[in-house]
Amino acid sequence: MNSNLDLISTFENSVNEYIRKVKDITNNLLFAKVITHGCQMNEHDSEKIKWLLNKMGYKLTEDDNLANLIILNTCSVRHSAEDKVYGQLGNFKRLKEENKNLKIAVCGCMMQREESRNYVIDKFENVDIIFGTNNIWKLPELLFESYNGEKLALDIENKYSDLDNNLGANRLYSYKSYVNIMYGCNNFCTFCIVPYTRGREASRRPEDIINEIKGLVQKGSKEITLLGQNVNSYGKNLDNKISFAELLYKINDIDGIERIRFMTSHPKDISDELIYAFKDLDHLCNFLHLPVQAGSSRVLKLMNRRYTKEDYLRKIDKIKTVNPNIALSTDIMVGFPGETEEDFDQTLSLVKEVKYDTSFTFLYSMRGGTPAAKSPNQVPDKIKHDRFQRLLDILYPIQYEKNKKFLNRDVKVLVEDISKKDDTKVQGRNDEFKLVNFTGTKEDIGKIIDVKITDFNSFSLVGEKIGN
Ligand code: SAH
Ligand code: SF4
Ligand code: F3S
């Protein structure tokens, strides 16, 4: 514990020292813009980066022309995610010509991947700073190096640092918060880049997690989302073994906590203990995201998912028996190398049987360095797109029927924002993670409000405040 505190205090001293030097160079004008791609892990990392920036005296801005530091937090999961970043880096050329003091930093999963990192270094001379997912805390030092004349200040770590565990976060919302419970992934699904970008699995200590959540709840957070690539294997590398379900029970006991969510759990090791938690725990939301990826056991084997279609359906059956009203969500990939029409039919039959409330669907994207990218049996784009559409044609009507069940029901909505399309309405999520729109004002944001559902479509619900 003591050495941890020493580590933090040395770190804080060095932040102050670096920033004093940076301020001298920039005449105290510190404005930073952070752009985030990718999943909740990255969103939360950006919250940590923003916290660090504030600590360094930076003000956050959305204005490209005002910023003298732009940080791009990148994602590598699909080709399209990387392309967006290359496009943005191209656009920054002009900004840099106009503002000689502007520094461009690139971080996140793409930078942990040698192929993409080298491409950025070769093609975009305007990039000044590069750091990885495990050494966000190095930013002050790298920034100083860059202002001090270093052409490219670069630091990539493969191993997760304890300092990351102790970074604060400048949270985007006060009423819903992400909390990391573990980092990395050991699963090596053959299509996936994440184990290469995020490194090996490492769990945070339960005390650290509980303390962080207590602090958030005290500050008024209503919904805590626990983050990990494979939360079911939480605790395996800790000295004092604890399972994910045990952690959930402890979190459920925290005074004042309202809603608990988590992502993502892997079907291969979802335990009975976790399934029963959905019945037992009053604060655990009535929603489970359980990515299936494909319905064919043959394809699942090629993907190294380590469950069969039958295993998955058995788990779903058990979940529905324990909690018949649970809302189910999934990730499905179409066009994995070698996927035949018969394999794809198995995916269609699985989704008809499970009847998901929500789904995230993807076209397989080749990721260099992963085993599946080397397969000679890549599925042609036209077939992928055709299957994708056929999958949506089955998923969406099921989602419509699922949402219909909410008609005339009273639900509790944690209001997140003003609706995107109509500023007389607000939007939020119910327990089942359904998006609900209803007439309201910005005073409703952050509150849990009782709403009667009056309309719906395949993707969201519409309602009215009860009592209005
Ligand atoms: N840890 C999570 C997934 C993280 S990535 C899990 O195991 O469920 C989120 C989703 O992106 C995956 O579930 C998968 O459906 C999709 N994905 C990952 N790699 C992909 C690739 N190469 N092409 C297309 N989709 C991919
Ligand atoms: Fe990727 Fe599989 Fe790990 Fe999820 S479990 S992050 S899909 S390797
Ligand atoms: Fe997330 Fe993308 Fe990295 S999905 S873990 S930000 S590769």
CATH number at residue 421: 2.40.50.140
Residue 340 forms part of a structural domain: yes
Residue 271: HSE in the Cβ half-sphere, 13 Å Cα cutoff:
13
Question: 92 and 222 share a domain?
Answer: no
Fill in the DSSP letter of residue 333. E
* Pick from 354, 358, 382, 378: nearest CA to 366: 378
Render pLDDT for 442-464 as a digit per residue (tens, 0 to 9): 999 999 999 999 999 999 999 99
Q: Which of 366, 382, 404 is the last residue of a domain?
A: 404
Question: 314 and 455 share a domain?
Answer: no
Residue 269 forms part of a structural domain: yes
Residue 265: HSE in the Cβ half-sphere, 13 Å Cα cutoff:
24
Q: Which atom of ligand 1 is nearest to the CA of 365?
A: 23
Distance 307 CA to ligand 2 centre (A): 14
Cα separation values, 451 from 408, 411, 455, 468, Å = 10, 5, 12, 10
Q: Which of 108, 133, 155 is the last residue of a domain?
A: 155
The sign of the dihedral angle between the CA atoms of 190, 192, 194, 197 is positive
Question: 3-class SS at 395?
Answer: helix
Give pLDDT, residue 30.
87
Please answer whether residues 340 and 301 qualify as being in contact, where contact means their C-beta atoms are separated by less than 8 angstroms.
no
Render pLDDT for 115-162 as a digit per residue (tens, 0 to 9): 999 999 999 999 999 999 988 989 988 988 898 888 999 999 877 777
Residue 447 forms part of a structural domain: yes
Question: 259 and 296 share a domain?
Answer: yes
Ligand 1 in contact with 42 (CB < 6 A)? no
Render pLDDT for 345-358 as a digit per residue (tens, 0 to 9): 999 999 999 999 99
Fill in the DSSP letter of residue 28. T
Q: Which of 96, 130, 155 is the last residue of a domain?
A: 155
Q: Which tokens belong to 60?
A: 């956050």
Please answer whether residues 280 and 253 qualify as being in contact, where contact means their C-beta atoms are separated by less than 8 angstroms.
no
Give pLDDT, residue 140.
87
Distance 43 CA to ligand 3 centre (A): 10
Q: Which amino acid is at 399?
A: Q
Phi and psi (nearest 5°) for 431?
-55, -40
The residue behind tokens 């990192």 is: 117
- Give me the number of domains the chain comprises: 3
pLDDT tens for the chain, 468 residues: list them.
Answer: 445 667 667 777 777 777 777 777 776 678 999 999 999 999 999 999 999 898 888 999 999 988 989 999 999 999 999 999 999 999 999 999 888 889 999 999 999 999 999 999 999 999 999 999 988 989 988 988 898 888 999 999 877 777 676 677 777 788 999 999 999 999 999 999 999 999 889 999 999 999 999 999 999 999 999 999 999 999 998 988 899 999 999 999 999 999 999 999 999 989 999 999 999 999 999 999 999 999 999 999 999 999 999 999 999 999 999 999 999 999 999 999 999 999 999 999 999 999 999 999 999 999 999 999 999 999 999 999 999 999 999 999 999 999 999 999 999 999 999 998 899 999 999 999 999 999 999 999 999 999 999 999 999 999 999 976
The residue behind tokens 């975009």 is: 124
Q: How far apart are CA 92 and CA 98, in angstroms?
A: 10
CA torsion angle 351 338 297 262 (round to 10): -60
Distance 334 CA to ligand 1 centre (A): 11
Q: Which range of residues forms the domain containing residue 446?
A: 410-465
Question: 150 and 114 share a domain?
Answer: yes
Distance 416 CA to ligand 1 centre (A): 26
Return the number of other C-beta atoms located less than 10 Å from residue 9's C-beta: 10
Give pLDDT, residue 157.
81
The closest residue, in CA terms, to atom 2 on ligand 2 is: 189
Please answer whether residues 20 and 47 qualify as being in contact, where contact means their C-beta atoms are separated by less than 8 angstroms.
no
